[in-house]
Amino acid sequence: MRLLIVEDDTRLLRTLNRALKEEGYAVDCAEDGEEGLRKATELDYDLILLDIMLPKRDGLSLLAELRKTKKTPVIFLTARDTADDRVKGLDQGGDDYIVKPFDLAELFARVRALIRRSRNEPSPNIVLGDVTIDTLSKTVIVGGQPVILTAREYSILEYLAIHHKRIVTRSELYEHLFDDYEDTLSNLLDVHVYNIRKKLKTPLITTRRGYGYTIDR
Amino acid sequence: MPRTISLQLRLQLWLGVFLTVLIGAFGYATYRLEAASFYHQTDHLLDSRVALVASDFRDSEHSLLAVRDADGGGTAPADGHPGPSPAPSFLPPLPGTVPGAVAAPPPDRPPVLLSPETLKLFSDDTRDRFAVWDAVWDANGTLLAASPGELPPGGVPDPVFPFPATARDTEFRHLTRGDWRIAFRFTETGDCVLVAHNIRSDLSRLAREALCIGAAAIAAVLLGLGGIAMIVRPALRPLHAISATARRIAAGDLSARIPETRTPRELAVLSADLNRTFASLDAAFARQRQFTSDAAHELRTPIAVILSETQLALRREHTPEEYRETLRTCEETAQDMRNLTESLLQLARVDVRAGGQAGHAPLDLLDLARKAAETLRPLAEAKGTELELPDTPCPFRGDRSQLLRLLLNLAGNAIEYAPPGSRVRILLLRTPSAITLAVADNGPGIAPADLPHIFDRFYRASRSRTRDSGHSGIGLALCKAIAEAHGGTLSASPTPGGGATFTAAFPLS
């Protein structure tokens, strides 16, 4: 999952960046409205956390502009707490609205819920045969036995599981799972997928040469 | 409000009392005039009768003398009239004892001869018709003649008393005894001619009239009271509107205003004044609300940082370096919050004091400029910025710490925003009409888009750049509030040749 945070308070930006990365998301940051709009237009983020009061271009106008081309889920993250502000934010195309200061746990939950909703996945559990992926606790159970995956391995598995029955290209995986600052070595994905296969002990993920990966179940 | 009477009741009471007194006086005067007119008419009639009897009597005395000279004895009244008789028994003792009066009546006083016309006056029918009673006494108090028949009940008092029997002034005198109005007169010879008129029916007529007048007066007063109530109530309606509005304001509805249409001029002025007061109160509350909400808003982001950082740190084990990072972030954020709350507190103090000149003392702005420069010197040196000071003293009257804060904020901002190696000048200018304090820099200046907002509370030009340098977005708002608390203004303009100049102007009144 790759997220974009648009927030002008560098300290909060830094903190959220760290927090969401620890949750296993790939995170990009933007400090003003223009930069945020540029990044949001360039990539298909899984979710955008958007402040409203931003330099250069405020969050509402950013979203209005973004909605012309993309349906990316957006959570407003703002200090404006009046009902008017909330209504305006949601009407403008926002999918959720979180008022600062917030609890990190709640923020995570809302992020998860919104990503789930945007995929039409009502349940936090994805069941693929004897493999169950709990997106809430980010754990994988195979045949009743928990399997320990690294955060990166888990997110690759989760992404493939969410998009099962279709081919996920390598570039799509890179786009959604690695952020701007990561060194994207070409064989990194192969190494991760190899490890996942080894740990799950089932041939869940199939490689389609020249295309990418897929889960057929 | 203990023991107070409503204005309406008070007005009605006083107007009622005034009206009652007025109508009462009017009724009484009417009654008195009526009575006076009645007595005047009656007295006039009685007087003419007295005059008639008196002249007749005098004539008769003359003729009597003549008769006595001729006959040597008295004669009976010509037409069988009873003639003079001794004083009726009901009369009080005749004033034979009045000091100076002639002691005894002449024993041989002959009977008086009255002319037929006079005798007719003494006859029953005329007496009944006019309800009069006539009598004549001589100077010694001897009743010489009197009307027949029933005498005035309660008695006709001695007419001579309290007048000396010696009175011979022929003046008409009047008095009222019981139901009788009496006119009498002393002739030159000392005889007393008296005519009494029974005024019982007239008195009861007067009493009836008095009753009528009284009833009319009471009706008028009641009508007047009703009228007063009808006038006073609508006249006081605007006052009710005012108090109703004041109550709504007190209950927290600061948007309430007194309706100013259809209000009398005096109250319209009052209403307008009160409405202005309400409006400024409303504005002050709105400012306060805005300020509080802005302040809360400004505190939300740093609180979010601290919450997120700590919650993140507590979620799972981290490396010592990560914990250090968390603590550093929290510390920096808390410092920011401290600065913000300090600024807010200062602003609130200036706002509170803005009303009065309390705490203002004579001072020299040059001193303050030097002090500010001293404080800012390390910052200026670190940035390689040159700080220029004026050299002429500039005496002023104001709050020392506030004005120092003004200088520190303006000069500090200038040093901070100007690129390294710039020049920041503090200027003081004293003219007969004003003292001007300016801080000019040759830095990047202020973007035209920001210019209208730089004095707004919590407004930051290019926010992301300034937030981390500890700016609360309140410094310039504080400067403006300080300038205004000293009766001055604060404005920003481009420095000729590049940069920004902040000018505080204090008019000298």
Flag whether B41 is in a domain.
yes
| Residues of chain B contacting A79 with CB distance shorter than 8 Å | 297-298, 300-301, 304
> Which carries the bigger pLDDT value, residue B147 or residue A199?
A199
Q: Do A104 and B311 touch (CB under 8 A)?
A: yes
Quick one: B287 and B422 in the same domain? Answer: no
- Measured between CA atoms, how close is B307 to chain A, in angstroms? 7
- Chain B residues close to A19, C-beta within 8 Å: 308, 311-312
- pLDDT, tens digit (0-9, with 9 covering 90-100), for B297-335: 778 888 999 999 999 899 888 899 989 989 998 998 898
Q: Quick one: how far is CA B464 from the chain centroid?
A: 62
Tell me whether residue B228 is in a domain: no
Residues B276 and B422 in one domain: no
Q: Which residues of B touch A10 (CB under 8 A)?
A: 464, 467-468
For position B64, what pLDDT does the model report? 47
- CB-nearest partner of A19 from B308, B464, B468: B308
Q: Note whether B37 and B161 are same-domain residues.
A: yes
Asked if the structure places residue B295 within a domain, the reply is: yes
Contact A103 B315 (CB under 8 A): no
Please check whether residue B279 lies inside any domain of the structure: yes
Whether B57 and B199 map to the same domain: the answer is yes
Nearest CB to B312 within list A15, A79, A81? A15
Residues B349 and B365 in one domain: no
Mean pLDDT for all residues in chain B: 75
- Which CATH number does the domain housing residue B372 bear? 3.30.565.10
Bigger pLDDT: A215 vs B465 = A215
What was the pLDDT predicted at B166? 57
Query: In angstroms, what separates the C-alpha of B382 from chain A's closest C-alpha?
Result: 24
B107 — pLDDT class (breaks 50, 70, 90): very low
pLDDT computed for residue B339 by the predictor: 82
Q: Is the pLDDT of residue B349 over 80?
A: no
Question: Between chains, do A12 and B468 touch, taking CB under 8 Å as contact?
Answer: no
Instruction: Name the band, by pLDDT with cuts 50, 70 and 90, for residue B215.
Output: very high
* Helices vs. strands in chain A: H and E counts, helices first: 8, 12
Helix ranges restricted to H, A127-169: 151-162
- Checking if the pLDDT of B219 tops 90, the result is yes
Q: Which of chain A's residues have a Cβ under 8 Å away from the Cβ of B303? A: 100-101
Say whether residue A71 is in contact with chain B using an 8 A CB cutoff. no
For the cut 50, the answer to whether the pLDDT of residue B418 exceeds it is yes
Q: Does residue B381 share a domain with residue B340?
A: no
Measured in whole angstroms, how far is the alpha carbon of residue B263 from the centre of its chain?
18
The mean predicted confidence, pLDDT, of chain A is 86
pLDDT value at B129 more than 60: no
CB within 8 A of A136, min separation 6: which ones? A112, A124, A125
Range of the domain at B53: 7-205
Verify that B115 and B70 share a domain, yes or no.
Answer: yes
In chain B, the residue whose alpha carbon lies closest to the alpha carbon of A21 is B312
Our count of domains for chain B comes to: 3
Contact criterion met (CB < 8 Å) for A55 and B329: no
Given this model, what pLDDT does residue B330 score?
A: 92
Residues of B engaging A, defined by a Cβ cutoff of 8 Å = 297-298, 300-309, 311-312, 315-316, 329, 332-333, 462-464, 467-468
Q: Where residue B277 sits, what CATH number does that domain have?
A: 1.10.287.130
Residues of A within 8 A of B294 (CB-CB) are none
Contact A12 B464 (CB under 8 A): no
Would an 8 Å CB–CB cutoff place A100 in contact with chain B? yes
Q: What confidence category does residue B139 fall into, taking pLDDT thresholds of 50, 70 and 90?
A: low
**pLDDT of B472:** 60
The residue-averaged pLDDT of B400-411 equals: 88
Residue B53 lies in a domain: yes
Highest mean pLDDT of the ranges A90-94, B49-53, B279-283: A90-94
User: Cβ of A103 under 8 Å from any chain B Cβ?
Assistant: yes
Q: What is the pLDDT of residue B402?
A: 86
pLDDT attached to residue B230 = 87
Highest mean pLDDT: which range of B13-27, B164-178, B494-508: B13-27
**pLDDT given at position B81:** 38
Distance from A59 to chain B by nearest Cα, in Å? 14
Alpha-carbon distance A21 to A110, whole Å? 16
Q: How confident is the model at residue A185 (pLDDT cuts 50, 70, 90)?
A: low
Ranges B11-15, B32-36, B258-262, most confident = B32-36
Residue B182 sits in the same domain as residue B274: no
Distance between CA atoms of residues A67 and A45, nearest Å: 13
Model pLDDT, residue B77: 37
In a domain, B223, yes or no: no
| Beta-carbon separation of A8 and B333 below 8 A | no
pLDDT at B463: 44
Residue with tokens 């707004």: B456
Distance between CA A109 and CA A105 in Å, rounded?
6
Query: Do residues B374 and B355 make contact, with C-beta atoms less than 8 angstroms apart?
Result: no
Q: A-chain residues within 8 Å CB-CB of B464?
A: 8-10, 31-32, 55
CATH 2.102.10.10 holds for A2-118 = no
* End-to-end CA gap in chain B: 43
Same domain, B398 and B263: no
If you average pLDDT over residues B445-466, what whole number do you get? 65
B336/A186: higher pLDDT: B336
Mutation target vs A (from B309, B329, B335; most A CBs, 10 A cutoff): B309
Per residue in A122-179, pLDDT (tens digit) is 677 888 888 888 887 888 888 888 888 888 888 888 888 888 888 888 888 888 887 7
Question: Is B163 part of any domain?
Answer: yes
Interface A-B, measured as beta-carbon pairs within 8 A, has a size of: 70
Q: What percent of chain A has pLDDT over 90?
A: 22
Q: How close A12 comes to chain B (CA, Å)?
A: 5
In this complex, do B311 and A55 lie within 8 Å of one another by their Cβ atoms?
no
B74 with B96, same domain: the answer is: yes
3-class secondary structure, B94: coil
- The yes/no answer on whether domain A125-215 falls in CATH 3.60.15.10 is no
Judged against a pLDDT cut of 90, whether residue A49 lies above it is answered with: yes
- The verdict on B114 and B260 lying in the same domain is no
Q: How far is CA B351 from CA A100, B454, B479, in A?
A: 28, 18, 11
Whole-complex ipTM? 0.74
Per-residue confidence band for B132, with pLDDT thresholds at 50, 70 and 90: low
Residue B366 predicted with pLDDT over 50: yes
| Residue where a domain stops, chosen among B334, B353, B372 | B353
Q: Where would I find the beta strands (DSSP E) of A37-175?
A: 47-50, 74-78, 96-99, 125-128, 131-134, 139-142, 145-147, 168-169
Show me where the domains of chain A are located. 2-118, 125-215
- The C-alpha of A8 sits at a distance from chain B's nearest C-alpha, in angstroms, of 5
